[in-house]
Structures are given as C-alpha cells and as structure tokens.
A and B are shown apart, each in its own frame.
Chain A
Amino acid sequence: MSFTKKLCGAAAATGLSLFAALPAWAQEAVPAAAPAVPNPGNNAWMMTSTVLVLLMILPGLALFYGGLTRSKNMLSTMTQIGATACLAMLIWVIYGYGTAFGPEGNAFFSWGKYFLAGVTPASTAATFSDEVISEYVFISFQMTFAAITAALVLGGTVERIKFSAVMVFVAVWLTIVYFPIAHMVWAGGGLIFEWGALDFAGGTVVHINAGVSALVAALILGKRKGFPTEPMPPHSLTMTMVGTGLLWVGWFGFNAGSELEADGTAGLAMINTFVATASAGLFWMLTERVMGHKGSALGLCSGIVAGLVAVTPAAGNVGPFGAVVLGALASIICYFAVSKLKPALGYDESLDAFGIHAIGGIIGAIGTGIFHDPSLGGPGDGSVAMWAQTWIQVKAVVVAIVWAAVGTTIAIYVAKIVTGLRVSTEVEQEGLDLGEHGERAYN
C-alpha cells in the first residue's frame, strides 16, 4: 500500500463487498485455496498490545488523572475511569464493534455482527499486508481504544459530575460520537478513510475527539465550585508521575500495536513513541524556563503526554526526526494552551484533556501530513503531494471537531435529563469520594 492505514475493517475471511473496491483487498476477497491463517507472532504481539492499552486506562490514566484532582475526589476520579472502561467494553461487544467495523455500512457508520454474531475462533481480520490476525484479538484491541477514549473525556468533568451521569453520558457518547468517528477514519468505506487521511493510531479518533468532547462537556457542566479563585492544586503529583510512566509504557501497545503486525512499521511506530515523547517532555520544561518559571514535575508529565498524543497519528507515518520535531512543537503549543489560553478564556476544563489531547492531537494530525513526505524523512512514497496530504488532514480534523462537539452536546443533555448531571453543592464541597461512593481514598 502506498501508505499505512489503520485498518480496512475486519473480517477478511468473510470477504466483504465493502472492500472489493480497494485493490489491496480485492486479492483477499478472491476465495483462495485455503483461508488465511493468523501468524502466531502477529497474534501474540496484538494480544500483548491489547493488554498494554488496558494498562493505559487502569491504572495509567486513573493515576494520572487521580493525582491531579484534590484528595477528596481521588476515588471518584479513578472509579469513573474504571467503570467507564467496563461499560465501554460491554457496549463494544453488544453493538459497538458492529457500528464501527460491521460488515455492512455507509460513510458514517456500519451495522451487523451485533453481539459478535458469526465470529468464531477461526474468524480473521485483515491487516495492511496479506496477513491476517484473529478477529477476537482485533475486536479486543479496538475495544480498548473505545474504552480509553471515553475515559479521557472525563478529564473535563471530574470533581463535580455525578457517577450516574457519567454512565449515561458514556453510553450515549460512544454510540453517537466514538463509533461513527472510528468508522469514518478507520473502516473501509468510511468518509475520512476514503479521503486518504492518515491517522495511524487515533490522533483524530481518540485524542481530538476526546479533547473536544471534554471541553464541550465541561462548558455545559459548568465550573467547579470555587474555580478559579480557590486553590485547587493536584493532591499527588507522585501518582501523576507514576500514571504518566504507565501511560507511556502502555502507549507502545497503542501505537506500535496499531500496525496490527509485528513488522518494521511497528518498529518505526515504537521508536517514534520513544523519541517524540522524550523531545516533548524536555521541551515543556524548557518552555517553563523560558517563561521565567522553574522546570516542574507536572511540566515533564504534561510534556510526555502531549508528545504521546502528537505522535499517535504520526507513529508509523513519519520518520524518527519528524517525530522529534512534532513532539517539541506539540509540547510548546500545548503549554500555552493550558497555561495561557485556558486562564484567558476562563473555562474549567479541569484536567486539560482539551489543552493537551485536542491541541496535541491537532498538531499531530496536521504535522503527520507534513512529515509523512519522504523529503522530510517520512515513509511516504511522495505519490500524494505534501500540501494535498496536509489539506486532507485538516479536513479530517474539522470533521472530528464538529462531530465531537455536536454529539457531546446531545450526550451531555441526555445525561442531564436522566440524572441531573451535577452533584449537589454539599457533595461537591465534602468531595465526591464520600458523597458519591461512601469511601475515602486516604484514612
């Protein structure tokens, strides 16, 4: 293939008409003498990648976000993330997989394979070459992406949203925002996929989507009581640092796993996930120094996450030095988004899912169009001009932003009607750990 795409949908073995238009798949659609058998090496790597992405959610993201909240909301933050992941997994096997990667579909969503109907241990899903992996492995891998994306959105709403509201919001949000965007970007026949947009591991689907959704949800939910006059320092940057490390480790499954094979492109995604992140971690601290502050631990952690986000769409699509530049750029721009833009506009998008995931994701998505070009060390073959690829990337970003904003507005109002959305002032004051869960994080 001229460039790596995330995936052309699942189920090569079932030979879907959807993919017949794509030359690369056409060969597979022709019934061969024997059905393709998954290579155990690829299968093993994808199973490993899948649990690495789970590591990013619990405990990675839970500790990262939890450390940033006040101690009275530690358990609530972590429980919301854990329960969101559980709910997303169940919805995924019931209808999520079918809606994103089902056998029949249009440009916006698909259908079929509800309750994983027809999937057996012998079923396979296509990769980017003539290899296949077991469909159950592919379903599990994609399941963890849905789970972490929904959990990321909660960074905007922690410390004041009801647990019940989270559950309703996540169910609706996955249905009308995540599954369609995943289909549009990653599935054969999807709107953005057909444009030829590059999104290796989910810069658009996961990070721009989650970041924009977090901002919209935070705006509708309103500020935390006392924000921004009352001090709300992170209660444990130690936890945040541990969470950051777990996120980074897990991200190798996220990025290098998105190749769907244990091949050289997975290796490229791996080294990029090291160096873009390293660059971003240091550049955030450097930016702090240049702005007259001390280089901080939270700055290092924020930079690391910004770099991971920016390299996500780029992982297998740029060269290592393109990744270094992308990481640095994302870090510097995200720094200004969270420390200047947010105070200037006065919104309480509490844990900066927008400032880091959406902004970093946009830098990564557009930067991928630029650094994919072979003249800048990228793995592209130059068949699509740099400006043309970048324009496709911009269009993909705009569609994701608009879709996420509209869908989140609907989802959060549904949650508001069903649950009331926000905890009472008393619960917010004493903390959601006691008020919503009847426990304290620290005794």
Chain B
Amino acid sequence: MKLIMAIIKPFKLDEVREALTGLGIAGMTVSEVKGFGRQKGQTEIYRGAEYSTNMVPKIKVEVVCDDALAPRVVEGIQQAANSGAIGDGKIFVLEVGQAVRIRTGETGETAL
C-alpha cells in the first residue's frame, strides 16, 4: 500500500477529487495547510506598514491505495492539479505498513 500526499493549490481540489474518484479511490483526507516552496509569499500593506507573508495557503490531500493503483493516482493528481504556474505544489509517495478499518477490524488492502 502507498500513501500519496499531495500539496496542491486550493482551487484545484475539486478537479483532483474528480480525477481520483474516477480511478475508483473510495476516500481521501483533505487539510488546509500553509507553507512555502519556490513560490514566494505576497506583500501586504496596511496604511503604509508593509508585511511580507512567506507562507502561502495550500491544500494537502492524502490518499492511501494499493501498490498497483499508485502510479495512476500520482499521474491523475499531477494532471488535475497542473495549472502550469509556479506554486502548483508537490506529490509525495510513502510506503504504508498497515491499514485497519476501525468498525470491522479488517486489515490490509481490504480495509481501504
């Protein structure tokens, strides 16, 4: 099993969700996050007081799927979240040791 963690632009979330449900992904976890990469923050000015914010708001999407599906999930997110501009985000793929469905106690890929 793989955990696919993607940091994307907030307005790309719907397209990413549609791409992934189209691949048969049954669930995902989404969080609002802040961070920075190559895309620098903005400058804000309030009555002449300038503040540069170096943290940009992003969405973090986390999906767990079986090993066979993982490359297609990565590709799906990469295409759906791509706007061609700096700041589109990153995708990370991690190995998952175990998964358990709390209600039934099922484990492994059947728990996904």
List chain A positions with a Cβ less than 8 A from chain B.
228, 231-234, 293-294, 296, 298-299, 302, 338-340, 342-343, 352, 355
Q: Which one, A234, A340, A355, contacts B46 given CB within 8 A?
A: A234
- Nearest chain A CB to B51 CB, angstrom units: 4
- Contact B51–A338 (Cβ < 8 Å): no
| A260, B36: Cα distance in complex, Å | 59
| A233, B49: Cα distance in complex, Å | 8
**B44 close to chain A: CB less than 8 A:** yes
Q: A231-B51, A233-B51 given as contacts; is B46 within 8 A of A293 (CB)? A: no
Task: Give 11 CB contacts A-B under 8 Å.
Answer: A228-B49, A233-B49, A293-B45, A296-B45, A296-B46, A338-B47, A339-B48, A339-B49, A340-B48, A343-B49, A352-B47
- Nearest chain A CB to B77 CB, angstrom units: 33
Closest to B44 in A: A233
- Contact A343–B48 (Cβ < 8 Å): yes
- Contact A342–B46 (Cβ < 8 Å): no
Q: Which one, A228, A294, A302, contacts B47 given CB within 8 A?
A: A302
Task: Return the CB mask of B30-65 against A: 1 if under 8 Å, else 0.
Answer: 000000000000001111110101000000000000
Q: How large is the interface on B (under 10, 10 to 19, 20 to 34, 35 or more residues)?
A: under 10
Of B45, B46, B53, the most chain A CB neighbours within 10 A belong to B46
Contacts of B49 in A (CB 8 A): 228, 232-233, 339, 343
| A293, B50: Cα distance in complex, Å | 11
- Nearest chain A CB to B69 CB, angstrom units: 41
- Nearest chain B CB to A236 CB, angstrom units: 12
- Nearest chain B CB to A229 CB, angstrom units: 11
- Nearest chain B CB to A352 CB, angstrom units: 6
Closest to A293 in B: B45
- Contact B51–A339 (Cβ < 8 Å): no
Q: Which one, A232, A234, A294, A338, contacts B48 given CB within 8 A?
A: A338
| A296, B45: Cα distance in complex, Å | 9
Contacts of B47 in A (CB 8 A): 298-299, 302, 338-339, 352, 355
Closest to B45 in A: A293
| A233, B48: Cα distance in complex, Å | 11
Contacts of B45 in A (CB 8 A): 293-294, 296
Beyond contacts A231-B51, A338-B48: 19 other A-B pairs, Cβ-Cβ < 8 A, are A228-B49, A231-B53, A232-B49, A233-B44, A233-B46, A234-B46, A294-B45, A296-B45, A296-B46, A299-B47, A302-B47, A338-B47, A339-B47, A339-B48, A339-B49, A340-B48, A343-B48, A343-B49, A352-B47
Contacts of A355 in B (CB 8 A): 47
| A302, B51: Cα distance in complex, Å | 19
| A340, B45: Cα distance in complex, Å | 13
- Contact B48–A342 (Cβ < 8 Å): yes
- Nearest chain A CB to B39 CB, angstrom units: 19
- Nearest chain A CB to B47 CB, angstrom units: 5
- Contact B48–A298 (Cβ < 8 Å): no
Closest to A356 in B: B47
Closest to B47 in A: A338
List residues of B (6-47) whose CB comes within 8 Å of A's CBs. Answer: 44-47
| A296, B46: Cα distance in complex, Å | 8
| A133, B102: Cα distance in complex, Å | 76
- Nearest chain A CB to B71 CB, angstrom units: 43
- Nearest chain B CB to A110 CB, angstrom units: 39
Q: Which are the 6 A-B pairs with shortest beta-carbon distances?
A: A339-B48, A231-B51, A338-B47, A339-B47, A233-B46, A298-B46
Contacts of A302 in B (CB 8 A): 47
| A306, B107: Cα distance in complex, Å | 67
| A228, B49: Cα distance in complex, Å | 9
- Nearest chain B CB to A267 CB, angstrom units: 34
Of A232, A294, A339, A342, the most chain B CB neighbours within 10 A belong to A339
- Nearest chain B CB to A286 CB, angstrom units: 15
Contacts of B44 in A (CB 8 A): 233
- Nearest chain B CB to A301 CB, angstrom units: 10
- Nearest chain B CB to A396 CB, angstrom units: 28
| A352, B48: Cα distance in complex, Å | 12
Contacts of A342 in B (CB 8 A): 48
Contacts of B48 in A (CB 8 A): 338-340, 342-343
Contacts of A340 in B (CB 8 A): 48
| A294, B43: Cα distance in complex, Å | 11
| A343, B48: Cα distance in complex, Å | 8
| A293, B47: Cα distance in complex, Å | 11
- Nearest chain B CB to A348 CB, angstrom units: 11
| A306, B53: Cα distance in complex, Å | 29
| A338, B44: Cα distance in complex, Å | 16
Of B44, B47, B51, the most chain A CB neighbours within 10 A belong to B47
Contacts of A298 in B (CB 8 A): 46-47
- Nearest chain A CB to B23 CB, angstrom units: 39
- Nearest chain B CB to A231 CB, angstrom units: 4
| A232, B49: Cα distance in complex, Å | 9
- Nearest chain B CB to A158 CB, angstrom units: 15
| A233, B47: Cα distance in complex, Å | 10
Contacts of A232 in B (CB 8 A): 49
Closest to B48 in A: A339
Contacts of A296 in B (CB 8 A): 45-46
